[in-house]
Amino acid sequence: MEMLYTCLKGVEVGTISRAEDLLAWVRERSTMYSVATAALCAVFTVLLCSDLFLEGGPRLGYPIIVTLMILSAVAALGFLVLGDRFGFWPALVIVTANGVMMVLDFTLLRVPTNTIGSVIQMPVLALYLGIFLRPAAARIIEAGVLIAVLTAAVLGHTGTDVFYGGRNLIKILLFVWLCLEAGIYAQKRFKRETHVDILTGLLNRQGLVDRAYAERARATRAERPTSVAMIDLDRFKQVNDTRGHSAGDHVLRDLAGQWRAQLRESDVIARLGGDEFVLVLPDTDVETGQRVMERLNKHSSHPWSWGLVEWQPDEKLSHVVANADREMYRDKATRREPADR
């Protein structure tokens, strides 16, 4: 009996361990976007499944509903396993498919319970678009969905009990758009809190990754080079030691403002931490980048050293930053006088 208990306990522990490993594996690959999209697909799966039990059967027919239900369930599992490797196009597919279903609910199908369910989904989808898509794209897509859905509602349900003769349509429009704007605000607030360095207002490490790859991709499409510079302040520790950390913070904020004023909007400036900064200069080769760095250094209120390299095709940002860092230490060792290092 004791041996059986030990075996069962071993099986239970092994099962729990495998489940924990699976969850950890999923967490490593998942993002907020992929989890939210998977949750939406799962909800759609449940809603489609509920259509199977409507009196008289689903209006679209069992084969279509079952097929859509399977596709939605597979999509939910795929997002959990693969994270955001699909990119953001599935968001467009999901919203478009849901818009089509709502139009059908309001016109051809005309099932009051489905219509109410579609209305409930509209603010959720608006929040989803606002949080995960760029604001301009989210507003354009949501406007298209609302125009299509509300037009279908007017044509298919004016005078019925569902919309009280259309009087509630304007309320739905305003509430859904409010949800969209709330999602856009949440996205901007989240990015500011997670992508911006509080002290200087520059990008932080995560913000650098997002902006740098976006600007580099734009420059690559135009077949233009991109340069990356690493900056390290000279004698910054002396400022903190002799004049206090508030003086050091003042130096960092001043330099951040000076760089922003002299660089283009497309140039990326980020603080990695302490007195280390990274500049990403799209459409800029090394020769031009060196002139830019010399100009910035000449007009700076505090001396600093830098290293500049060109971002090669298929090279990771971490690798190019490491190369620029090595160039910066060469500059600090050879270009400056010993007293300035």
* 317 close to 324: Cβ distance less than 8 angstroms: no
| 226 and 298 within one domain | yes
Are 277 and 271 a contacting pair, CB within 8 Å? yes
User: 152 with 81, same domain?
Assistant: yes
Q: Is residue 200 part of a domain?
A: no
Same domain, 83 and 191: yes
Rg (CA), the chain: 28
Strand-pair partners of 233: 304
| Dist CA 110 CA 14 (whole Å) | 51
Choose the final residue of a domain: 195, 227, 244: 195
- In three-state secondary structure terms, 309 is strand
CATH number at residue 214: 3.30.70.270
Residue 15 has what pLDDT?
57
pLDDT tens series, the chain, 341 aa: 555 455 544 545 555 566 666 566 556 666 788 888 888 888 888 888 887 877 767 777 788 888 988 988 988 888 877 776 677 777 778 778 877 877 777 777 666 666 777 778 888 889 999 988 889 989 998 998 888 877 877 776 544 555 555 567 778 888 999 999 999 999 888 888 888 888 998 999 888 888 888 888 888 888 889 999 999 998 888 888 888 888 989 999 999 999 999 999 889 999 988 899 999 999 999 999 999 999 999 888 899 999 999 998 888 888 999 999 999 888 887 765 544 44
Per-residue pLDDT, 166 = 58
Between CA 136 and CA 147, with CA 142 as vertex, the angle to 5 degrees is 130
Structural tokens at position 52: 């199977």
Q: With beta carbons less than 8 A apart as the criterion, state whether 84 and 34 touch.
A: yes
315 and 215, same structural domain? Answer: yes
Q: Give the whole-angstrom CA distance, residue 77 versus residue 34.
A: 10
Please answer whether residues 183 and 129 qualify as being in contact, where contact means their C-beta atoms are separated by less than 8 angstroms: yes
Please tell me whether residues 136 and 44 are part of one structural domain.
Answer: yes
pLDDT number for residue 315: 86
Interatomic CA distance for residues 324 and 341, integer angstroms: 18
183 and 231 share one domain: no
Q: Within this chain, do residues 190 and 229 fall inside the same structural domain, yes or no? A: no
* Residue 309 pLDDT: 93
For residues 149, 154, 157 and 160, what is the CA-based torsion angle, rounded to 10 degrees?
130
Domain total of the chain = 2
Q: Do 30 and 141 belong to one domain?
A: yes
**Single-letter residue type at 326:** R
187 located within any domain:
yes
pLDDT of residue 136: 92
pLDDT at 250: 93
Q: Which of 308, 300, 301 is nearest to 330 (CA)?
A: 308
Domain enclosing residue 93, as ranges: 2-195
